[in-house]
Amino acid sequence: MNGYERRKEQKKKDIKQAAFSLFQKQGIKEIKIEDLAKHAGVSQVTIYNHFGSKEALFREVIKEFVADEYEFHKELFQKDLSFREKITTSILHKTNNVLNIHPEVIEEMMLNDEELKLFLADFQTKYAIPLIVDLIKNAQNNGEVNPDLSMESIMVYIQLFNNNTLISMITGENGQKLATDIFQMFFYGLSLPKDSK
């Protein structure tokens, strides 16, 4: 890669970082290309040349965010931690992300934008689910998860905690309390934790 190509890639990276920061704080609808250009320190023409539109830029930013999240979890699941520690870290990480991203962004990426919905479904099938399946199989082999439970039943259980309605609720007014309760139910169901009796 020559100097021009490196500068071009760096400029794209700077634009995406600036865009994610704005989308994260303000949502999507009210943001204009002019705002993105000002925040990134580039011209509006530069953004159009690199991405074509605000919507295309948003999609690229979200796809990169999803890939980064996958890498975070891949690294987490490879660490020398218990299954509980890995799941706890994962849930807290996701909850923190949801609470710090404008609800409009989550709604757009998971409910409204058809291209992103297809991308997320495909990414989940090809990458996210196999990663979780490996984690659970290892936990079953280590005696941390009941080995008599089928993978299908475990995946259904996990999906109950990973649906669009739940995510939109966590972004609401009582999101932190709801996220904490969900975390509790993930491990203990509706029973009291063993150490609280």
Summarize pLDDT for 78-133 with one digit per residue, the tens: 999 999 899 888 878 887 787 788 888 888 887 788 999 999 989 999 999 999 99
| Percent of the chain scoring above 90 in pLDDT | 49
Instruction: Break the chain into its structural domains and give their ranges.
Output: 3-196
As a whole number of angstroms, the distance between CA 17 and CA 69 comes to 15
Cβ atoms < 10 Å from Cβ of 15: 23
pLDDT confidence of residue 110: 78
Judge whether 124 and 62 are in contact, CB under 8 Å.
no
The DSSP symbol for 110 reads: I
The yes-or-no verdict on residue 169 having pLDDT over 70 is no
pLDDT confidence of residue 4: 74
SS3 173: coil
**Topology of the domain comprising 3-196:** Tetracycline Repressor; domain 2 (1.10.357)
